[in-house]
Chain A
Amino acid sequence: GAVVSQHPSWVICKSGTSVKIECRSLDFQATTMFWYRQFPKQSLMLMATSNEGSKATYEQGVEKDKFLINHASLTLSTLTVTSAHPEDSSFYICSARGSGYIYNEQFFGPGTRLTVL
């Protein structure tokens, strides 16, 4: 149980283009989803928190117009990196949290490696 998937697992794009990353909870309903980015040899940095049907809450320093988050259903959240630049290259990981004793914890997806040329 508590399986979270991400798609794509890796993506290479040209500078200036937009990239969409999907995060799905496969066997539970995620009332809250989180988006993190991770640079090599570093810890996870929370970018934003989203509740289904509500606007995402962004962490300080994260541009909401650049990192668009949509949590349209209880099993799907998307992160769109708009007008990507090389400095946006990173490992993006989503996390989902459901309800009930077992699923009321953060379970992570496998991550998406974004490389911007």
Chain B
Amino acid sequence: GQQLNQSPQSMFIQEGEDVSMNCTSSSIFNTWLWYKQDPGEGPVLLIALYKAGELTSNGRLTAQFGITRKDSFLNISASIPSDVGIYFCAGRTSTHGSGNTGKLIFGQGTTLQVKP
């Protein structure tokens, strides 16, 4: 079945540093999503990407939809302590606005820890 390989599995960085994480797949996806999950909470949607090559920002977060449609990355600039959490990528084969009938496939998550 379809799988997403997310890396790195965990990161421990100093406050103020930039962070980069990515997801790759052997399958093509038409939608890439990035979520953040705080301990004991549900995932919160950070960025949604719907076109190959698309680069989208949300504050200090920037994500790109790979041109091959088989990968995506998320960058966090100037990290702060509240960036701590687990970041999940998710992909879907259906296109946005088509009813989004496809299931989301989730990566294994990247655990981010920020040292003040």
Contacts and interface: CB of A to CB of B under 8 A. Distances in A.
Interface in B86-116: 88, 90, 96-97, 99-100, 103-104, 106-109
For chain B, what secondary structure do more than half of its interface residues adopt (helix, strand, loop), or is it mixed? loop
Contact of B88 (A6, A43, A101): A43
Given A43-B88, A49-B103, A111-B40, A106 B45 contact: yes
Contacts of B33: 105-106
B42 A97 contact: no
A108 B44 contact: yes
Interface residues of A, number: 22
Contact of B108 (A43, A49, A95, A109): A43
Contact of B43 (A2, A42, A101, A108): A108
Interface in A1-56: 2, 4, 6, 42-44, 46, 49
Contacts, number: 48
B100 A107 contact: no
B48 interface: yes
Interface in A63-102: 91, 93, 95, 97, 101
B40 A104 contact: no
Interface of A: 2, 4, 6, 42-44, 46, 49, 91, 93, 95, 97, 101, 104-111, 113
Given A101-B97, A111-B42, 6 more contacts: A43-B108, A43-B109, A46-B103, A95-B42, A108-B42, A110-B42
Interface of B: 33, 35, 40-45, 48, 88, 90, 96-97, 99-100, 103-104, 106-109
